[in-house]
């Protein structure tokens, strides 16, 4: 064994002994496997094939803040149950929550009246949500759920072993290619105390996720933290106190047939002509609108992610093959609505949005996506963003497109709608999501619906039809009816 000439052997030995006392893993720096096995042993990981843990606390709606520079909206979590099967790579969260901020500070799902039950699942390469009897595919959530699965206290040890982790001091690092990079920090008892991960995000490119595990207790021979705190993109995402942990519960969560049979739901495109040269592009959960001008087209909204944007871009080419997209209008920065902007920016198309969203989107459209390079990262381009305040008008002499701020709602501080005066059409997102055509009327009136109606009146807009970016085309009269107006 070669020793450095400048350091006597005895000093090196003393140094190593000291490091071992301070950091139990340091002695294994050359032998990651042995170090990992010590952690697995301390955590009881080898015997854990599945686990269920539950508790309560607060969580936050990531990507749904009132404006881009405020924290994610907070909710009180009455009950939280996470069930994980490591052998089938299945994770299922069941959450019951209530309004957190009083008075509400605004943002997605604000204010929440009563209790909301949410079920989020991922298994293998499928992700879906359960709402009552209905299952909805959510491919955009898949990587985050897989990361959640493989950064649970035992999951991270298993994933480290499966991905040839390197061990250095108290730090275990590994990469699941195309999915995430993970660094786990181990405490003096060889328990996982912290996760620092980087994962792909449709809006942000690379996103930082931090998890802290503390106050470990013994549950039937398995160590588990009773405090779990998480941040996503530096804002709090979860603060959970764990009360119950059950290792090796039976977990059987089959992938529902409608989910298995639709592996690429974002590729589904259904188009409806709303007026001559105006198309409502739907097919899934989030819609876009295409407006044809004399020598170009304008796209309103590029939601979800690259996959959806590619499908929408394909449809734009089908509908108007000869004209380039001059602008994409982004109604607001919420992640479900802005997730396809990077792919449009990769085509060199500038974004028009309210000034509130401009600095955020400029940063997002210049951010690296190194974990899973997306179309923008591969293009080498940076997106351009044009801001606006109350109103911006685009015209080719024949058709006029008005982009208008919607002030005073509690969904978002800088959300715009698109008005076509000649066609008497109004495109809006999230301030009014109509119920299904045959659904009973909503039991309560949402203040944002009233706000939209008030803004239409204030601006003297003549609207025949609303083209909501969730739901279906409907007459303005239906909004009036929903808020109890008869006119
Ligand atoms: Zn929104």
Residue pair 74/58 in contact by the 8 Å Cβ criterion: yes
3-state helix, strand, coil in the chain (%, to 5): 25, 35, 40
Q: Could you tell me the distance, in angstroms and rounded to a whole number, from the CA of residue 10 to the centre of ligand 1? A: 64
Q: Could you tell me the distance, in angstroms and rounded to a whole number, from the CA of residue 329 to the centre of ligand 1? A: 14
Q: Could you tell me the distance, in angstroms and rounded to a whole number, from the CA of residue 179 to the centre of ligand 1? A: 26
Q: Could you tell me the distance, in angstroms and rounded to a whole number, from the CA of residue 115 to the centre of ligand 1? A: 20
Q: Does the reported pTM lie above 0.85?
A: yes
**145: closest CA among 90, 65, 103?**
90
Residue pair 77/89 in contact by the 8 Å Cβ criterion: no
Residues near ion ligand 1 (CB < 5 Å) are 108, 334, 430
Q: Could you tell me the distance, in angstroms and rounded to a whole number, from the CA of residue 221 to the centre of ligand 1? A: 45
pLDDT tens track, the chain, 487 positions? 333 333 334 444 444 443 334 443 434 444 678 889 999 999 999 899 999 999 999 999 999 999 999 999 999 999 999 999 999 999 999 999 999 998 889 999 888 989 999 999 999 999 999 999 999 999 999 999 999 999 999 999 999 999 989 999 999 999 999 999 999 999 999 999 999 999 999 999 999 999 999 999 999 889 999 999 999 999 999 999 999 999 999 999 999 999 999 999 999 999 999 999 999 999 999 999 999 999 999 999 999 999 999 999 999 999 999 999 999 999 999 999 999 999 999 999 999 999 999 999 999 999 999 999 999 999 999 999 999 999 999 999 999 999 999 999 999 999 999 999 999 999 999 999 999 888 888 888 999 999 999 999 999 999 999 999 999 999 999 999 999 965 4
Condensed to tens digits (0 to 9), the pLDDT of residues 285-336 reads 999 999 999 999 999 999 999 999 999 999 999 999 999 999 999 999 999 9
Q: Could you tell me the distance, in angstroms and rounded to a whole number, from the CA of residue 297 to the centre of ligand 1? A: 24
The Cα 436–Cα 408 span in angstroms is: 26
Residue pair 331/299 in contact by the 8 Å Cβ criterion: no
The residues, ordered by sequence, that sit 6+ positions from 203 with a Cβ below 8 Å of its Cβ are 63, 333, 335, 338, 339, 341, 342, 364
Residue pair 306/354 in contact by the 8 Å Cβ criterion: no
Residues linked to residue 230 through DSSP beta bridges, in sequence order: 211, 238
| 165 phi/psi in degrees, rounded to 5 | -60, 150
Q: Could you tell me the distance, in angstroms and rounded to a whole number, from the CA of residue 123 to the centre of ligand 1? A: 27
**How many DSSP H helices and E strands does the chain contain?**
12, 26
Q: Could you tell me the distance, in angstroms and rounded to a whole number, from the CA of residue 451 to the centre of ligand 1? A: 15
Q: Could you tell me the distance, in angstroms and rounded to a whole number, from the CA of residue 28 to the centre of ligand 1? A: 49
Q: Could you tell me the distance, in angstroms and rounded to a whole number, from the CA of residue 372 to the centre of ligand 1? A: 25
Q: Could you tell me the distance, in angstroms and rounded to a whole number, from the CA of residue 379 to the centre of ligand 1? A: 28
Q: Could you tell me the distance, in angstroms and rounded to a whole number, from the CA of residue 108 to the centre of ligand 1? A: 5
Residue pair 57/226 in contact by the 8 Å Cβ criterion: no
Q: Could you tell me the distance, in angstroms and rounded to a whole number, from the CA of residue 429 to the centre of ligand 1? A: 7
């Amino acid at each position: 064994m070669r020793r450095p000439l400048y350091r006597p052997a005895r000093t090196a030995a003393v140094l190593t002994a000291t490091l071992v006392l301070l950091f139990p893993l340091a002695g294994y720096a050359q032998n990651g496997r042995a170090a990992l096995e010590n952690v697995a042993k301390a955590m009881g990981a080898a015997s854990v094939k599945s686990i269920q843990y539950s508790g309560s606390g607060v969580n936050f709606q990531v990507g749904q803040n009132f404006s881009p520079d405020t924290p994610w909206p907070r909710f009180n979590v009455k009950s939280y149950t996470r069930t994980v099967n490591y052998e089938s790579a299945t994770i299922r969260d069941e959450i019951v929550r209530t309004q957190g901020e009083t008075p509400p500070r605004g943002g997605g799902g604000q204010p929440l009246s009563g209790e909301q039950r949410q079920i989020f699942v991922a298994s293998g390469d499928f992700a879906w949500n359960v709402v009552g009897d209905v299952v909805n595919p959510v491919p955009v959530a898949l990587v985050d759920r897989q990361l959640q699965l493989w950064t649970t206290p035992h999951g991270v040890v298993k994933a480290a072993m499966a991905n040839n982790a390197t061990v250095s001091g108290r730090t275990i690092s590994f990469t699941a290619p195309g999915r995430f990079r993970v660094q786990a920090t181990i405490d003096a008892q060889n328990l996982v105390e912290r996760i620092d991960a980087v994962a792909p995000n449709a809006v942000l490119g690379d996103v930082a996720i931090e998890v802290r595990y503390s106050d470990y207790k013994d549950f039937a021979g398995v160590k588990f933290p009773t405090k779990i705190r998480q941040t996503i993109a530096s804002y709090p995402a979860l603060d959970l106190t764990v009360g119950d942990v059950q290792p090796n519960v039976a977990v059987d969560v089959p992938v529902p047939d409608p989910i298995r049979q639709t592996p690429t739901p974002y590729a589904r495109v259904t188009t409806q002509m709303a007026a001559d040269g105006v198309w409502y592009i739907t097919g899934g959960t989030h819609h876009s609108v295409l407006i044809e001008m004399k020598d170009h087209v304008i796209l309103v909204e590029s939601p979800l992610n690259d996959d959806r944007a590619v499908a929408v871009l394909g449809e734009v080419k089908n509908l108007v093959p000869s004209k380039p997209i001059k602008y994409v209008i982004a109604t607001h920065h919420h992640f479900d609505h802005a997730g396809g902007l990077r792919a449009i920016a990769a085509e060199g198309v500038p974004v028009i949005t309210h000034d509130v969203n401009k600095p955020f989107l400029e940063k997002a459209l210049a951010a690296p996506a190194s974990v899973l390079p997306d179309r923008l990262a591969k293009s080498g381009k940076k997106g351009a963003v044009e801001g606006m305040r109350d109103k911006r008008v685009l015209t080719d002499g024949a058709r006029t497109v008005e982009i208008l701020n919607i002030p005073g709602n509690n969904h978002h501080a800088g959300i715009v709608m698109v008005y076509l005066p000649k066609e008497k059409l109004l495109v809006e997102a999230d301030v009014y999501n109509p119920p299904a055509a045959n659904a009973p009327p909503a039991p309560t009136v949402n203040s944002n619906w009233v706000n939209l109606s008030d803004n239409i009146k204030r601006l003297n807009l003549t609207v025949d039809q609303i083209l909501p970016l969730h739901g279906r085309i409907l007459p303005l009269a239906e909004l009036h009816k929903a808020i109890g107006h008869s006119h």
